[in-house]
Amino acid sequence: MKNNIAVIIVTYNDQNMIGNCLESILQSATNVTVIVVDNDSSDNTVEIARSFKSVIVEKSTTNIGFAAANNVGARLADSIGHYQYLFLLNPDTIVGPTVVGALQQFLDENIEYGIVGPMQCDYHDRTLTQLNTWTRSILRFEGTVYASQYIRRLREAPRETPTVRDVPYVQGSAFFCRAEIYWLLFGLNEKYWMYHEEVDFCRRARWIGSRTGLLKNIYINHMARDLADPTFTRVYHRRRNKYYFALTDPALSFRELTLVFCKIGLSDIARAFHRAYVLDLVEIRAIIATVRWLLQNRAEIIDERRIHMRLHESFSNAQ
């Protein structure tokens, strides 16, 4: 018999956040197994996590990235108890006692959905009334295809009920997924390292007939610190993976792919300049590193696009 829910939290120098996150998830009214996978933190994150006796802590000797660390946690969960659901959760979140149970109940009752997430509010908003930047942004999407923000023909009225809105993807900061789908799709694509890995996963999930939704009556707090701390690693992967994702999207024709590249490229170049036309060296380095990576990995990217085209075509034919 399968256990129900494994919560996987990936950490990296999160000593100021992980304690509050663990306290909140361990107070859940639903029984969960909590696994922390640490990406070689240099602060006291691991020690704090290990102070919670019921928490399983796996420390990596190197920073293997967000996608790979979540896959490590998922494999560990599978070896422990073959869980029915996986809940990928960021350490900069606060989760109320009824959140996990509500997410589980929705998937129990709606088999057409494979991945759902809660509405996210600002970290310090304990009234849960101030939606954070990501939630406001995802609610503006027209349709369930990520590229619809660039290509008009892909836009459509989103499917919506009083409890759920279908979205292009559920953010990896609070990503509640059926374990069978996670393994059917071989987990998160580790080539993304961080950012867009959940967008890619949700895209592949839709191709096998699963829906992705944002539950409108469930709320958590999420700080989203990366927006306030634009390090080179964060900026580089955020920029690079947009191109990687687009290049492996079989829904885009060559003409549309060119249009997407132009829009993304112009946006990235604009970000490289501050006011008064002062160059942002982090952005410039990220653009150069992105071009280099795309050229170095072009053969693998072409192969992945071909695989995606076959998967996309088989799904289209099944419909």
Contact between 182 and 73 (Cβ < 8 Å): no
pLDDT at 286: 92
Q: Which of 146, 247, 231 is nearest to 191 (CA)?
A: 247
Mean pLDDT of 65-85: 96
Task: Decide: residue 280, CB within 10 A, 0-12 exposed, 13-18 middle, 19+ buried.
Answer: middle
pLDDT at 226: 65
pLDDT in tens, 241-272: 999 999 999 888 889 999 999 999 998 888 88
Contact between 215 and 163 (Cβ < 8 Å): yes
Extents of the domains making up the chain: 5-223, 232-318
pLDDT at 85: 98
5-223 falls under which CATH superfamily?
Spore Coat Polysaccharide Biosynthesis Protein SpsA; Chain A (3.90.550.10)
Judged against a pLDDT cut of 90, whether residue 317 lies above it is answered with: no
Distance between CA 290 and CA 256 in Å, rounded?
20
pLDDT at 149: 84
Percentage with pLDDT > 70 across the chain? 94
Residues 6 or more apart from 299 whose CB is under 8 A from it?
A: none
Mean pLDDT over each residue of the chain, to the nearest integer? 92
Mean pLDDT of 76-85: 93
Mean pLDDT of 41-50: 97
